[in-house]
Chains A and B, each alone.
Chain A
Amino acid sequence: MMTEPYDVDPDDDVAFNEEEEDDIPEEEEEEEEEEDVVPKPASPPPPPKPASPPPPKKVGVARRLAEWRAAQPPVPRNSPSPPPPPPCNKWRGESSDEDEEPVAVPHRRNAGAAAEKREAKSKRAEDFRRHMHETPPLDEESVPMTLEDGSRFYVKTRPAVEELGEEARPTSLLATPVAELRALDDVAERRAPIVLRRAAGGLWVDKYAPQTFQDLLSDDRTNREVLRALKNWDPFVFRKPAPKPPVETTTTRTTTKMASTMISKKKAFAWKKRRKLPPNKTEEDDKVFDEDGRPAKKIVLLAGDPGTGKTTLARVLARFAGYRVIEVNASEDRTKTAIERAVTDAQTNRAVGGRDSKPACVVLDEIDGIAGTQASAALVAMATAPLKKKTLTRPVVCVCNDLYAPSLRSLRDVSAVFHLRNPPTPQRLVGVLRTVAAREGLDVSQMALQALAEASRGDVRACLHALQFASSTASNLDAEVFRAVDSGLKDGAADEFDLWRAVFSKPKPRPPIDDGSNTPKKRTTAKNELSAIIATAASLDADRVVAGVHENYPTVIVRDPGALHTASLADDLSEADLLLRRHDLGARCSAAISCAAGFARRDDFVPKLRIPKLLRPDASAFRAIDDARTRWRPRLERLGTTACALDLAPWLTRVVLDLDVRPVGLELARPREKALLEATATVMAANGLGFERAVLDDGDNNFKPTYKLRPDVVAATTFGGGSGGTVKTPHHRLAPITCQVLSRQVTIALVRHRDGASTTTTTTTAAKKTTTNDDNELPAAKRKKKSPAEIVAAAAAAADQQQQEEEEEGASNNKAVPPKRRRRRRHFSFTQWVVPNKKKKNPHPAVLLEEDENDAVAQQPEPASKKAKVVERPHITFKFNKGFSDAVRRPVFMEDLLLLTS
């Protein structure tokens, strides 16, 4: 590259190169490290060799041409360029050296040559001018070139050998081994300066596009990994050993010299081993390669934000790995067939001879832009097909923005995915921008470039465009660059967070910009800043804007001795809220007010801003209250949520949980405690409360089993985050044993409630005991006849618990039995022999209600009278409709059977 076979002013060229190498000292350092990681210089296929000697044929022709020209007398020619001034030896020879001529012909020749040499230097400028043509020379070979100042010339070719002098390369190089030459070549290529030397017109983005591995701005590690993925094709494409698998230590960039040498030794050893047994693949090879020697992941998928250099990366790396790059991008036809054709063509066709005889690597750009999954499905099919079929024999690189586009789902699985997450750091970007600016001869301050790099968020393309645009228009570049930064490099760059930051913080001071004009410096006035902020706020969601200002203002106001600032800001926000509900204009005004309010009290020091919380009712607390509310069916009233939270819930928890009892079981409880527990159980049952097991974590990783109210009213009425709050709630603590007792009592109470008025028929002795206790405790009104409303409430509450009870009663196999039948069966028992009443009891509240009134008398008779009934009507049919075999299992005792037969 550097040493072109064409005649450009050599002095200039050298100076240029030196200058550029000075510019990039750090690149050189990096390079040394990369020696470890980047595949060996020898391993890549020979890259284009710009430094190689020009083709001998050309040199021959050129030399002969030069000799011929030197020998020829000047002949006026119809060439666009004036012929070189004729060598004057003839004239001299004729005039002064005439008599010596016959004697010293060789001498004369030597003298002529010396004369030529003497004049060479003065001729060089002339030569230069002679070889630079404004239009292509018709008779000679020429190449177009553009100078730094943009002027375009056509340069005639001339043998490079002449420039190289006596120790011309062909001879000296012949002595050196090829491997060394290659290494030299590689190094030469690596030493290439960071920014392009190929001067071309047009966009700077293209002009300064990276050409080599080192130029890439993307994350080095990603670059290497992508390269490795491409190199994995080497065994198949180039019949070369595959690159070494990554060594652990190489990933850390700060390797000491010692360590790196050790590693390289180790690697060398690994190499040897590999070389020895190429056919016997190691185990890890099997994972990376398939049986054909192709990599298992045949597609490289690059993803990343726009402007992070994905396409460039693909292009450069493919070239670096020794491929010819064939790009298929969005501007082309990209149907399924088109892509298939492009890929297969690239793989099969091979340009004959010449530079492009390299294998092809297809780069599919913007693959997520292809609608539908067909195209990617075709790629996947090709990637997974065996070697004989239509498949991939060369690497394919796909580039996309959105890695998780639905159409890429299948493609992701079969390809090696690289996500270019980290955009180049501003520092790195600034380095590049500075180089470009220097090359373009721009006078831009470091600060402007810094601002540009930061504003672009790592988008090199945007930076270069902005810079180029600024350079084309502005007399004062800094001002122009700052304007570009202010106007926003990328769309949508402004988000709420930036806005809040702008509201609360003063901008970093910038150097005063003197653009020569008399216009006042606008950008520094607060008024303009505020109007910019408000303009941004208008484009954002007003609700969020206001919420963010509100969230952050107390943290931002640090010094406020009189609390005046805080108060007035809070007041402004409160006013802003009134407008927020209005329509568009109101909302925007609201956002503006809040921004202005915050802006007025902004400070130099800005703490970390927070994202506003969304104030939603604490879901769990809300649900608990709501749940409790819907369960509470005390009498007929159903309270609203608010009334529940304010009036009922705090007291209910106390009534239930603030019991004055010792933590003992029911057996050990005193009569007073028993009464209290049972009364509480009744309350709980009536209100649909229950206990459930929970685990209590007391902070020291001691998990204790406890009981929790269900629904969790306690949580809904405890403030201050439980234990950490300032307000301690002394109540709400019951010993687990008490909870257990209560829980049991609640179940019993529910059973009793469900049985409604017929409280005399109890199943368990425990329940019987409670009944008697209850009767003693409760007033007479409740003992005999319950009000219908109570029954409704009880039945409804009990309905929730039925399932649980089923299990306790051991009748779990009949869950599907409709309630009517179940109820009948409950009354059926071998010991009692009650004929099921014709009027079946229905748990449905309304029906139950009506019947309860009617049944009130029927249910009251003593068990004795019921037994009498049994004797009267001995024929009992009992049919079960449900179940697998219509069978039923019930505990039957011998005495029951005896009773039946007697």
Chain B
Amino acid sequence: MLWVDKYRPQTLEKMDYHKELSQRLSDLAADGDIPHLLFYGPNGAGKKTRILALLRALYGSGADRVKLDRREIKTPSNKTVEVTTSSSNYHIEMNPGDAGTNDRFVVQEVIKEIAQGGSLHSKTGRVGYKVVVLVEVDRLTRQAQAALRRTMEKCASSCRLVLSCANPSKVIDPVRSRCLGIRVAAPTDAEICVVLQSVAAKERLVLPDKLAARVAKASNRNLRRAVLALEAAKVKQYPFDEECPIEPPDWEAYVHSIAQDITRDQSPQRLLACREKLYDLLSKCVPADVILKTLVKDLLKNLDDELKPDILKWAAIYEHRIQCGAKDIFHLEAFIAKFMSLYKHFIADMFG
């Protein structure tokens, strides 16, 4: 079992950081009745850990007994959509984004089923509702979110929704307003270092502080990545020294190579070569906005200050367009072309 899973805190009390948030959540759980919740925050910040801990606080250890189901849901057009859910007696968790364009039916169907199951008579009798956990709601289509909105009101008596997403602005306003928003900020580097040290202690490893700091820095404030990187480093070379190489993930290295390419040479041919690389990245599930962000970050490292505002402005424009538009590759390419143009002019101005 990976360390990320092994050393995931199970209860709200054991959370390593965001103590205040944990306190609020446990207060909420102690009250017995929770509103609909929307957890948002970047990947690897600990949203899911907190959701699970909250469920545990609500229902006791029964919430941990989870079974996996693959269920098939029929759409009105007689298509069967298969989704995997994990559910306990008290909650059901699913990733409706898996269903693609048919997510609307999945959401409706599952919630309806739970709502019709009637109120819950738990052992404690304290909590009279079930919880539906939907992750990655920002991937839901607009229709599905609209469907959610009505369902949330109708079945409020028998179930609660706990939503989780990275980008709350992709959740439609009506849904957001029906939820209590809980922001789970990414841990700071220092907090990550603390966690890494505690993991190392549990694994009986000696982790130099400097290495921990480097891992934390490389992880980009993503705790999951930090812990995984630590484990990978351990597998590679155990007695740690401070200079242990921390390799970036493959996709990041690949984006970095694009950044190098376009600063070296600006031509339509180079753009074509970059297109191939972008296709490769996109086809392997690396989202366009992540590519763009990483790319800009890489580019800014070696850029003249004079050029930075312009590049950032255009990066922001194209990032926005990625969110609005349909074809990511267009906008990524447009950004690269724009960068090439700006950069070339800048160089030309500088050297005559």
Residues of A within 8 A of B (CB): 547, 550, 553-555, 557-558, 560, 562-564, 566-567, 569-571, 573-578, 580-581, 613, 615-618, 621-622, 625, 630, 633-638, 640-648, 650-652, 654-655, 658-660, 672, 676, 680, 682-683, 686-687, 716-721, 725-727, 729, 779, 788-790, 792-793, 796, 844-846, 849-850
Contacts and interface: CB of A to CB of B under 8 A. Distances in A.
A682 B64 CA distance: 22
A392 B66 CA distance: 76
A796 B285 contact: no
Interface in B304-352: 318, 321, 324-327, 329-331, 333-334, 336-338, 340-342, 344-345, 348
A676 B239 CA distance: 13
A555 B330 contact: no
B1 A566 contact: no
A652 B3 CA distance: 11
30 contacts: A554-B272, A555-B268, A562-B348, A566-B340, A566-B341, A567-B342, A571-B338, A574-B318, A574-B330, A613-B279, A616-B283, A622-B283, A622-B285, A638-B84, A638-B93, A641-B98, A642-B43, A645-B284, A646-B43, A647-B44, A651-B231, A654-B235, A658-B232, A660-B238, A683-B2, A686-B5, A687-B2, A790-B1, A845-B66, A845-B68
A846 B65 contact: yes
A737 to B, nearest CB: 18
A638 B95 contact: yes
Contacts of A720: 254, 257, 277, 280
B250 interface: yes
A567 B340 contact: yes
Contact of B321 (A577, A635, A729, A779): A577
A655 B2 contact: yes
A560 B267 contact: yes
Given A573-B334, A637-B5, A655-B228, A644 B326 contact: no
Which residue, A560, A581, A617, has most C-beta atoms of chain B within 10 A? A560
Given A566-B268, A580-B326, A634-B2, A648 B228 contact: yes
B284 A719 contact: yes
Contact of A554 (B86, B93, B269, B281): B269
B228 A634 contact: no
B319 to A, nearest CB: 11
Interface string B89-106: 000010101100000000
B1 A621 contact: no
B289 to A, nearest CB: 10
A640 B282 CA distance: 16
Contacts of B333: 550, 570, 573-574
B255 to A, nearest CB: 9
Chief secondary structure at chain B's binding surface: helix
Nearest to B44: A647
Given A647-B44, A719-B281, 17 more contacts: A560-B267, A566-B337, A567-B334, A618-B284, A621-B285, A636-B93, A642-B136, A645-B286, A652-B2, A686-B2, A687-B2, A719-B284, A729-B250, A779-B204, A789-B64, A845-B68, A846-B67
A729 B284 CA distance: 16
A726 B276 CA distance: 12
Contacts of A635: 5, 8
Given A574-B318, A641-B285, A792 B66 contact: yes
Contacts of B75: none
B253 to A, nearest CB: 5
Interface in B228-260: 228-229, 231-232, 235-238, 247, 249-251, 253-254, 257
A846 B135 CA distance: 22
B26 interface: no
Contact of A646 (B232, B257, B282, B286): B286
B292 interface: no
User: A-side binding surface: helix, strand, loop or mixed?
Assistant: helix
B271 A643 contact: no
B266 interface: yes
B22 interface: no
Contact of B257 (A654, A676, A726): A726
Contacts of B231: 651, 655
A593 to B, nearest CB: 12
B241 to A, nearest CB: 14
B321 A578 contact: yes
B250 A646 contact: no
Contacts of A793: 1
Nearest to A651: B228
B13 to A, nearest CB: 17
A566 B231 CA distance: 45
B282 A615 contact: yes
Contacts of B235: 654-655, 658-660, 676, 680
A674 B137 CA distance: 43
A719 B344 contact: no
The winner among A547, A630, A727 for most chain B CB atoms within 10 A is: A727
A717 B251 contact: yes
B275 interface: yes
Contacts of A792: 65-67
B186 to A, nearest CB: 12
B48 A563 contact: no
A734 to B, nearest CB: 12
Interface in B157-185: none
A636 B86 contact: yes
B81 interface: no
A643 B43 contact: yes
Given A562-B341, A567-B338, A717-B250, A642 B232 contact: no
Interface string B261-303: 0000011110110010101111111110010000000000000
A633 B68 contact: yes
A558 B284 CA distance: 31
Contacts of A625: 284-285
Contacts of B68: 633, 796, 845
A660 B224 contact: no
A642 B277 contact: no
B280 A719 contact: yes
Nearest to B280: A719
B294 to A, nearest CB: 10
Contacts of B229: 651
B287 A642 contact: yes
Contacts of B147: none
Nearest to B248: A650
A793 B67 CA distance: 9
A567 B280 contact: no
B225 to A, nearest CB: 5
B202 interface: yes
B337 A570 contact: yes
Contacts of B48: 637
Give the top 9 A-B pairs by smallest Cβ distance, nearest first.
A618-B283, A651-B228, A650-B249, A634-B5, A645-B285, A567-B341, A570-B337, A574-B334, A570-B334
A850 B65 contact: yes
A475 B48 CA distance: 81
Contacts of B194: none
Contacts of B204: 779
B344 A563 contact: yes
B232 A654 contact: yes
- With a 10 A CB-CB cut-off, give which of B68, B269, B327 has the most chain A CB atoms: B327
A577 B268 contact: no
B64 to A, nearest CB: 6
A562 B271 contact: no
B309 to A, nearest CB: 17
B250 A650 contact: yes
A660 B285 CA distance: 29
Contacts of A640: 95, 97, 135-136, 139
B52 interface: yes
Contacts of A547: 327
B222 interface: yes
Nearest to A556: B268
A636 B66 contact: yes
B64 A580 contact: no
Given A636-B66, A686-B1, A796-B68, A655 B290 contact: no
